[in-house]
Amino acid sequence: MTPRDRFAVNLFKARKLKRVTQQELGDRCDLHRTEISLLERGGREPRLGTIIKLADALTVTPESLCEGIRWDEDAQRFKFSR
C-alpha cells in the first residue's frame, strides 16, 4: 500500500459518509469530477492545498484524510495502520 492508496480509501469513506457524489464534491472544492475519481482510485497523489480543499468541502480534518499514514524515521519510509 502506498500513501496515495491509503488517502484514496480515507477520501472515499469520508465522501460516502457525507453522502456526496464525486460531482458535488468537485463543485464544492473547485475540482473536476475526474480529479476526485483519480484521487479516490489512488491514481494521483494530492497536493497539500487539495487535501485542505477536500477536508473543508467534506467538513472533516485534513488529518482524518491522512489517517493511517505516518513516516517511519528509522526505516526511512511510510508506514500504514488500519
pTM of the model: 0.89
Report the b/e string of 22-41 with b at 16+ CB within 10 A.
beebbebbebeeebbebbbe
Q: What is the pLDDT of residues 15-59, one digit of tens each?
A: 999 999 999 999 999 999 999 999 999 999 999 999 999 999 999
Query: Helical H runs in the chain?
Result: 3-17, 22-29, 33-40, 48-58, 62-65
All three cell numbers of 65: 484524510
| Predicted local confidence at residue 32, as pLDDT | 97
pLDDT at 82 over 70: no
Give CATH superfamily name and number for 3-71: lambda repressor-like DNA-binding domains (1.10.260.40)
78: three-class secondary structure by DSSP: strand
Domain ranges within the chain, ordered by starting residue: 3-71
> What is the spatial distance between Cα 45 and Cα 42, in angstroms, rounded to a whole number?
7
